Structure 1
Amino acid sequence: MTHEVVARVEELAAKLAGTADETERLGRLSDESVALVRQAGVMRMLQPVEFGGYAAHPRDFAEAVMAVAKVCGSTGWVCGVGGVHPWEMALMDRRLPAEVWGENPDTWIASPYAPQGLATPVDGGYTLKGRWNFSSGTDHCDWIFLGALVAGPDGTPAQPVRSLHVVLPRADYTIVDDSWDVIGLSGTGSKDVIVDGAFIPAYRTIDAGAVAEGAAAAERAGRTETVYKLPFWTMFPLGITGAVIGICEGALAAHLDYQRARVGAIGGPVRSDPYSLYAISEAAADIAASRTQLLDGISRLYDRIEAGGEIGFEDRSLVRRNQIRCAWRAVTAVDQIFARSGGNAVRRGTPLQRFWRDAHVGLQHAIHVPGPNYHSSALSLLGVEPEGALRALI
């Protein structure tokens, strides 16, 4: 059964598609795009019910992200990244979500999680300094999650290294307005943010390792819903890869629209060219397989938790492997049809070239780097426990 939010996104799809050009031109989501996402409720899908959310099955969340990205890649990307933040907020000290959503359940939260700052312990919490890249949708957010390393007495990262996720209100950080000039996903407005000595109360922090383990953070927060027991490195990539696959579905739809009436370079309609039709079918099958594989991975882990089971490192590693592979498969499929779309497909006025650029930039995210994860998952299959860096982002 289609989730009500997914149904609303599909009803609003034409309007969302109409915002894509302005969003790209502005370098951030247009006001209309933000209003439509709020109307659909995408950002509240993983939000706790008591704060106006749906606490939805993550499969439904991924389908909503894909539905948005299919018509506007940048908006879908912001939904995929920002839509996971309410999930993590549910794992925090109960005082914090009350601060964030107490007056407005539609308050958005930004990130990034890369530990690009230092959190120095002080009485009652930490002081934070650093500069972070890639804060997607940050212009529309009133709070932010940031990754940070705990500092030692000498002002360098303490040993052993300890990583935190910390949360700040908008008044405590600066957005660098001219820091997002890119060739794809331009409308995400993924700008840099700077923090210069802000105080972070301890209750606005959480250990990154506990979040990665899933159930540990849920237990500390008193959460019993299955969705909040899933691991971070399963949930966070879900939204990002969901956006990439949705973008690829949009590219396929744009290609089909473009090819229906097109006459090929050697004369005759493209629909009579068996080679172009072969490429369309192969690409469509690969993109569909990517969607199925992404949704299957999250559903299997959810079902494991729902049945009272546990999720081990090997389980996380194999789901991450498949998630990475389905992103690459879908973007490769887009390359095959874009290469057969003719010279006019590269003109700025065609949506196909925008989807093509957005898909490739989405593939650049760190969670889509295949090498270390493929290495790790292969070792797991061989019965060897991966160590050190091979456990990163898993």
Structure 2
Amino acid sequence: MGFTEQEISSIREQSHQMEQKGVITPESLQYIYDKKLFHLFVADDLEGNMTPLPEAIRIFQECSRIDGSFGWLVTIGAGGGYFVPFMTKEIGRKVFAHSEAVIAGSGATTGTALRVDGGYIVNGRWKYCSGSTHATTFTANAILEKENGQGSGEAPEIVTLIMTPEQVHIDKDWNTFGLKATASHSMVVTGAFVPDEMTFSFSEYRSHQEELLYKYPFLAFAQTSFAGVAMGLADHFLEAAEEWMNARGNEKVLAEIIEQTQEFARQKDAFYMVLDKSWEELSQKGSLSPEMEQRISSECITAAKDSLSCGLKLFPMLGLSACMEDTAVNRTWRDLQTACQHALLRG
């Protein structure tokens, strides 16, 4: 599952190009397909690559250490596998069972679905759909439109939709200063018909209930995934900062970087100790206690803060030339800041 030094060098050599063009290169994408990284949480009988969560988070960390956008895309793309048990086996096979299958989408309820015979007419716009330019399937949440309007005090009914690329227009509006190659654009749907079988509910299991991964609480699953990205980005930043200062011979700053790297290693160990314990608890009991869920959430937020603090402390010591956007240390610092802005990592 790991990467050779040659593969790491190959991806990193393409980092500047990916950032400039705002999209992952076909060569880097092929590494993901070949290693089945988008299928880490897809059941094996759907041509998946089912992986225990602690191992997968370490993979996300390593992919993000290689390149920020690369790691983010692997993490988001793999995360779509969590939807498998809410689909029938037939739909799951349609969505996941081929080598390039990957979902992009949004959890926001910024669309509407009108009930019609056999399905829904869908309209909406959803932001931050990472991997939009290579997705083979799109998912989104929409509010069910009521013929007579929403009743006073009545909670809206949510429909989760599965759509094809032909039904989705990508509005290329991802214009952030970091993670530029993630193509986290908005998806726009206008008057698309989505049949009943291409919808699902997170409260209704339809297949693969026996898989342990799908019993891990979704919030904790998402937070641990993003924490893995943040830690990998901090790893790369620390490596790049050390290389940067080695070339400039500043022993004082080098000592600060080495000290920060050692402290961060201890912080990562503490995070993985809790993550491993949570997986062990799930394996033994079939669920996580509320106390463990809270502990995991807290550790993820702490991991993100620890990751970000590496850059906050060290970047001001690197000099004006580190502000040049075409340097690895600058790109990695921008990627790290961007990833840590995710709501699930800010507490």
TM-score by length of 2: 0.92
Query: 2:72–2:229: 8 Å Cα contact kept in structure 1?
Result: yes
Distance 1:156 1:23, change over 3 A: farther
Query: 2:86–2:201: 8 Å Cα contact kept in structure 1?
Result: no
Give CA deviations for 1:265-314 in whole Å, capped at 9, x if unaligned.
xxxx322x2xx245324421443244334433433332222113422444
- Name 2:19's counterpart in structure 1: 24
Counting only pairs closer than 5 Å after superposition, residues 107-256 of structure 1 correspond to structure 2 as 107-155=101-149, 159-177=154-172, 179-208=173-202, 210=203, 217=205, 220-256=206-242
Q: Supply the distance in 1 between the matched residues of 2:94 and 2:188 (Cα, whole angstroms).
A: 22
Query: 2:61–2:71: 8 Å Cα contact kept in structure 1?
Result: yes
Query: 1:242–1:294: 8 Å Cα contact kept in structure 2?
Result: no
What are structure 2's unaligned runs of at least 5 residues? Answer: none
User: What's the secondary structure of 2:166's corresponding residue?
Assistant: helix
User: What's the secondary structure of 2:326's corresponding residue?
Assistant: coil
Q: Supply the distance in 2 between the matched residues of 1:305 and 1:203 (Cα, whole angstroms).
A: 31
Deviation at 1:54, TM superposition (A): 1.7
Aligned AA for 2:35? Answer: A
Query: 1:28–1:186: 8 Å Cα contact kept in structure 2?
Result: yes
Q: How much identity, in percent, do the aligned residues show?
A: 21
In structure 2, which of residues 328, 333, 336 is the aligned counterpart of residue 359 of structure 1?
Answer: 336
Give CA deviations for 1:59-107 in whole Å, capped at 9, x if unaligned.
12111111111121011111111111023234322121111234x2321
Q: Supply the distance in 1 between the matched residues of 2:150 and 2:70 (Cα, whole angstroms).
A: 37
TM-score by length of 1: 0.81
Q: Supply the distance in 2 between the matched residues of 1:164 and 1:289 (Cα, whole angstroms).
A: 43
- Name 1:292's counterpart in structure 2: 269
Deviation at 1:55, TM superposition (A): 0.9
Q: Supply the distance in 1 between the matched residues of 2:217 and 2:161 (Cα, whole angstroms).
A: 18
1:48 aligns with 2:43: yes
Aligned AA for 1:345? Answer: A
Q: Supply the distance in 1 between the matched residues of 2:135 and 2:342 (Cα, whole angstroms).
A: 21
Aligned AA for 1:348? Answer: E
Give CA deviations for 1:182-208 in whole Å, capped at 9, x if unaligned.
111111110000111222233332334
Aligned AA for 2:26? Answer: D
Q: Supply the distance in 2 between the matched residues of 1:329 and 1:164 (Cα, whole angstroms).
A: 37
User: What's the secondary structure of 2:276's corresponding residue?
Assistant: helix
Root-mean-square deviation (CA, aligned residues, Å) is: 2.2
User: What's the secondary structure of 1:175's corresponding residue?
Assistant: strand
Deviation at 1:181, TM superposition (A): 1.4
Query: 1:120–1:155: 8 Å Cα contact kept in structure 2?
Result: no
Distance 1:282 1:88, change over 3 A: farther
User: What's the secondary structure of 1:8's corresponding residue?
Assistant: coil
Give CA deviations for 1:340-365 in whole Å, capped at 9, x if unaligned.
11221112231000011111111111
Deviation at 1:134, TM superposition (A): 0.4
User: What's the secondary structure of 2:317's corresponding residue?
Assistant: coil
Aligned AA for 2:55? Answer: D
Aligned AA for 1:134? Answer: Y
Query: 1:79–1:239: 8 Å Cα contact kept in structure 2?
Result: no
Q: Supply the distance in 2 between the matched residues of 1:316 and 1:205 (Cα, whole angstroms).
A: 28
Aligned AA for 1:128? Answer: V
Q: Supply the distance in 2 between the matched residues of 1:151 and 1:361 (Cα, whole angstroms).
A: 35
Deviation at 1:156, TM superposition (A): 5.0
- Which one has more relative contact order, counting CA pairs under 8 Å at least 6 apart? 2
Distance 1:60 1:144, change over 3 A: same
Greater shift in the superposed pair: 281-290 or 151-160: 151-160
Greater shift in the superposed pair: 105-114 or 245-254: 105-114
